[in-house]
Structure 1
Amino acid sequence: MVTEESARPELTLVVLMGLQGAGKTSFTRARWPGGHVHVSKDHFPRRAKHKDARQERLIAAALGEGRSVVVDNTHPTALVRAPLVALGRAHGALVVGYCFVARVDECLARNRGRQGRLRVPDVAIFATARRFEAPSLAEGFDELHAVRLVAGEGFEVTAW
């Protein structure tokens, strides 16, 4: 039996992790078309100061309003992800991570197809790849998933 209480969607904080060009934004558009607040530093002015603090304020405001959030950035290390996990926990949200598994050459190729601000310097992809640490449930995630872009078919999501 489905009650009104059990039919309500759960408050969720989704943390995307992966190299630039791995498909994080495309995945967000396909998976949550308007259902979650989409927070990305890519939407901030290029020279904006205190991007992390601004991102955390936006996330806290949305979660405080009872709205689920997708955080769409590279999040390469556990140290970078920790404040987001803590923020989700503080608001009683389910914290779900999606780690994008992609080779550097694939990300470089996708990035070269981008125009204007969407394209990042190749060096940024190499730098993120060098720093990237695989996520772990020990970081405080409730769920972790691996995401792979499958040419012509969309995305394949599996348990981490």
Structure 2
Amino acid sequence: MELVLFIGLQGSGKSSFYRERFAATHVHVSKDLWPNARKREARQRRLIDEALARGESVVVDNTNPRLEDRAPLIAIGRERGARVVGYAFESDLEACLARNAGRVGRARVEDKAILITRHHLRWPSYAEGFAALFQVRLTPEGGFLVNSWGTP
């Protein structure tokens, strides 16, 4: 059982990566699924905890840019005995803005949201409690290149 945290800008390919690599095996938790809900943080934590309590693996598909965003999620995973894994989505700001511009409806966020996330973005480290870290990049063909972040 594992808890997977995605870390990266909006438009960096996180949700597509989930669909390609994890949809068949992991519960999908994303605040984007309930954009108008109150207490989204509490709801997210509850859903993660409930899935892990059932023995299900979970992917948290949000930007998770700051250590403060990730710490409570990592704590839940560790309390439930899950292997905590991080995937850092390295991407070009202009490319993320361009992909976002092509989105429609609620999938599109204001450009300033991407700029704010970029300002807050801190790359993960093993010191946070991750068992494994990976770097993800979009390829020109639209696929994903995944590399190990390094060793703990």
Bucket of the pairwise TM-score, normalised by the shorter protein: over 0.9
CA distance in 2, matches of 1:39, 1:23: 16
Q: What is the TM-score normalised by the length of structure 1? A: 0.91
CA distance in 1, matches of 2:48, 2:63: 16
1:132 aligned onto 2:121: yes
3-state SS of paired residue (1:15): strand
Q: Which runs of 4+ in 1 moved over 4 A?
A: none
CA distance in 1, matches of 2:102, 2:142: 19
Report the counterpart of residue 133 of structure 2 in structure 1: 144
Of 68, 77, 91 in structure 2, the residue corresponding to residue 79 of structure 1 is 68
Report the counterpart of residue 79 of structure 2 in structure 1: 90
Report the counterpart of residue 33 of structure 2 in structure 1: 43
Q: Which moved more, 1:150-159 or 1:118-127?
A: 150-159
Report the counterpart of residue 53 of structure 2 in structure 1: 64
CA RMSD across the alignment: 0.7
- Label 1:127 to 1:153 Cα distance change in 2 as closer, same or farther (>3 A): closer
1:29 aligned onto 2:19: yes
Cα drift, residue 34 of structure 1: 2.3
Report the counterpart of residue 108 of structure 1 in structure 2: 97
- One-letter amino acid of the structure 1 residue matched with residue 24 of structure 2: G
3-state SS of paired residue (1:80): helix
Cα drift, residue 153 of structure 1: 4.8
Largest Rg, 1 or 2: 1
Cα drift, residue 61 of structure 1: 0.5
1:117 aligned onto 2:110: no
CA distance in 2, matches of 1:32, 1:141: 18
Structure 2: give runs of 5+ residues left out of the alignment.
Answer: none
Report the counterpart of residue 3 of structure 1 in structure 2: none
Cα drift, residue 47 of structure 1: 2.5
- One-letter amino acid of the structure 1 residue matched with residue 56 of structure 2: R
Cα drift, residue 33 of structure 1: 2.5
Report the counterpart of residue 6 of structure 1 in structure 2: none
- How many residues of Structure 1 are paired with residues of Structure 2 in the alignment? 149
CA distance in 2, matches of 1:116, 1:153: 22
Report the counterpart of residue 99 of structure 1 in structure 2: 88
- One-letter amino acid of the structure 2 residue matched with residue 130 of structure 1: H
